[in-house]
């Protein structure tokens, strides 16, 4: 009963966010609660924030979870932790691809080209590379324990470089992305150019997508676990 | 001078001198990489920004061709077990790291010499800044490639996997180093490039700490 309530809540939340994010008008001086302010330099393009930012956020959350479970695996050597870490990374690469694709479609309209090596684009590309390398490493090792240990080590090493991509690179390199160091026309969007209701819908969207992520992660983890169990029974 | 990491380094150094596998392949790779660039440029004048990037491209690919040897050779000769018996993991890592540091410094000095001789546009207006970048960048490169080499050797020495795994790890270092090399070509002052230098130092320290903490898990089967 409780889980159904959660799912209904999640459905309603995401449905509301989708409708609000796509259909609410952007006007010069918002007077109604369902009107968004006009951000100079972004205009209608600003609406992608409700869908693009959550996917990028989940890419990082998935990576963080994958690393935390890698840590736990190295500490306790429990195969369960490896499966959890794997399930998180699987979702992470999906959201990473989504963030890259939505971002590059948006940049076609905002900057005029699909890809322009903006620092943010470089950093999401680097995350994509890290995920790719991680899966390549996993698929190259057959021994389960070895695979779990080495991929956990690699996940942690890769994780310590992530702050460089996410927080430092965009700030030292000049870029086009809203919120980067020399951004003069659009400004840090999240801070003050959004009004209260835009902010509210943005955070609702973040919450909705995060719940969705955890639900998907749990499903992924369970299916991997059952697969593991069936394999074990078939073998012996 | 009979400390354990040092004697481990000496052992690697002697066996390297006997076969000269890494040195030969690195030297040939430097020549191949630079001549490919020179052929593709032809008689064209390339601008200064490009030389900074190409400099680190040569360094990256040369590093990828030879630096995995330190651990892969132990796996190939079947001497990993013996090494596990005689030395603690941190000792092994220190010894291998020193060996790779020496290798990286030799290789990159040769690259820098050849590069400045062959490319007219590679003029260093702030040589001191370049020197700092070079030293800090080399240290970071050696640390990251040593720990990835350890992972690779345990993963069954897959040669193609080495650049794939190393590139994302080395990317922040290489991007910042390219930026700093550009600064030293432009003649930017120290004060203006202090943030980038700090980033490279942070990278070196973080990588070194993470490597020492994680090497135990890779090394013990």
Of A132, A157, A164, the CB nearest to B147: A157
Q: CB of A126 within 8 Å of any CB in chain B?
A: yes
**Contact flag B218-A132 (C-beta cutoff 8 Å):** no
Report yes or no on whether pTM surpasses 0.90: no
- DSSP letters of B147-200? HHHHHHHHTT--TTHHHHHHHHHHHHHHHHHHHHHHHHHHT--TGGGHHHHHHH
Say what the pLDDT of residue A179 is: 55
**Contact flag B161-A136 (C-beta cutoff 8 Å):** yes
- Residues of A with Cβ-Cβ distance to B147 under 8 angstroms: 157
For the stretch B199-203, contacts whose Cβ atoms lie closer than 8 Å and that sit 24 or more positions apart, written own/partner, are B199/A164, B199/A168, B199/A172, B199/B172, B200/B133, B200/B136, B200/B137, B200/B140, B200/B173, B200/B176, B201/B136, B202/A164, B203/A161, B203/A164, B203/B140, B203/B172, B203/B173, B203/B176
Between CA A178 and CA A202 the distance in angstroms is: 15
Say what the pLDDT of residue B56 is: 92
Say what the pLDDT of residue A193 is: 62
Q: What is the mean pLDDT of each run of 10 residues along chain A (236 residues)?
A: 85 89 78 73 76 90 94 92 94 93 87 81 87 92 90 93 76 59 46 71 90 93 92 85
Say what the pLDDT of residue A174 is: 59
CA closest to B178 among chain A residues: A173
Please list the helix, strand and coil fractions of chain B in percent, rounded to the nearest 5, in that order.
85, 0, 15
Identify the segments of chain B with pLDDT beneath 70.
1-2, 157-158
B84-123 pLDDT per residue, tens: 888 888 899 999 999 999 999 999 999 999 988 888 888 8
- Contacts across the A-B interface (CB distance below 8 Å): 81
Say what the pLDDT of residue A172 is: 62
The residues, any chain, with a CB within 8 Å of residue A144's CB and separated by 6 or more, are: A79
Q: CB of A162 within 8 Å of any CB in chain B?
A: no
Say what the pLDDT of residue A97 is: 94
H/E run at residue A93: helix A79-110
Optimal mutation site among A168, A174, A175, A181, interface B, most CBs of chain B within 10 A: A168
**Contact flag B164-A132 (C-beta cutoff 8 Å):** yes
């Amino acid at each position: 009963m409780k889980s159904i309530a959660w799912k209904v809540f999640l459905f309603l939340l995401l449905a509301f966010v989708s409708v609000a994010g796509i259909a609410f008008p952007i006007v010069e001086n918002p007077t109604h609660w369902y009107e968004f302010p006009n951000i100079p330099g972004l205009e209608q393009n600003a609406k992608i924030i409700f869908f693009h930012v959550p996917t990028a956020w989940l890419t990082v959350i998935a990576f963080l979870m994958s690393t935390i479970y890698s840590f736990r695996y190295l500490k306790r050597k429990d195969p369960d932790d490896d499966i959890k870490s794997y399930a998180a990374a699987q979702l992470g690469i999906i959201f990473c691809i989504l963030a890259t694709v939505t971002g590059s479609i948006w940049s076609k309209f905002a900057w005029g080209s699909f890809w322009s090596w903006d620092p943010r684009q470089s950093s999401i590309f680097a995350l994509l590379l890290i995920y790719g390398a991680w899966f390549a490493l996993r698929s190259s090792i057959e021994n389960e324990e070895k695979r779990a240990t080495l991929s956990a080590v690699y996940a942690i090493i890769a994780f310590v470089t992530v702050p460089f991509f996410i927080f430092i690179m965009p700030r030292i390199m000049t870029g086009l992305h809203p919120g980067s160091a020399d951004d003069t026309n659009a400004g840090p969007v999240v801070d003050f150019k959004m009004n209260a209701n835009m902010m509210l819908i943005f955070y609702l969207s973040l919450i909705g997508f995060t719940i969705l992520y955890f639900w998907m992660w749990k499903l992924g983890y369970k299916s991997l676990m059952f697969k593991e169990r069936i394999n074990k029974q078939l073998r012996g | 001078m009979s400390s354990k990491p040092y004697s481990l380094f000496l052992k690697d150094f002697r066996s390297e001198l006997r076969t000269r596998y890494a040195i030969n392949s690195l030297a040939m790779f430097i020549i191949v990489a630079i001549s490919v660039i020179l052929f593709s440029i032809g008689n064209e004048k390339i601008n200064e920004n490009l030389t900074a990037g190409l400099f680190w491209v040569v360094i990256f690919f040369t590093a990828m061709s030879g630096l995995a040897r330190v651990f892969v050779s132990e796996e190939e000769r079947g001497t990993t077990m013996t090494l596990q018996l005689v030395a603690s993991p941190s000792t092994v890592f220190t010894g291998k790291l020193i060996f790779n540091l020496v290798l990286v410094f030799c290789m990159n000095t040769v690259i820098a010499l050849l590069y400045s001789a062959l490319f007219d546009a590679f003029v260093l207006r702030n040589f001191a800044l370049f020197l700092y970048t070079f030293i800090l960048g080399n240290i970071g490169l050696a640390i990251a490639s040593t720990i990835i080499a350890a992972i690779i050797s345990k993963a069954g020495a897959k040669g193609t996997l080495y650049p794939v795994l190393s590139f994302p790890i080395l990317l922040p270092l290489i991007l910042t180093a390219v930026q700093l090399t550009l600064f030293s070509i432009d003649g930017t002052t120290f004060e203006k490039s202090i943030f980038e230098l700090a980033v490279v130092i942070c990278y070196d320290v973080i990588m070194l700490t993470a490597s020492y903490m994680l090497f135990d898990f890779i090394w013990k089967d």
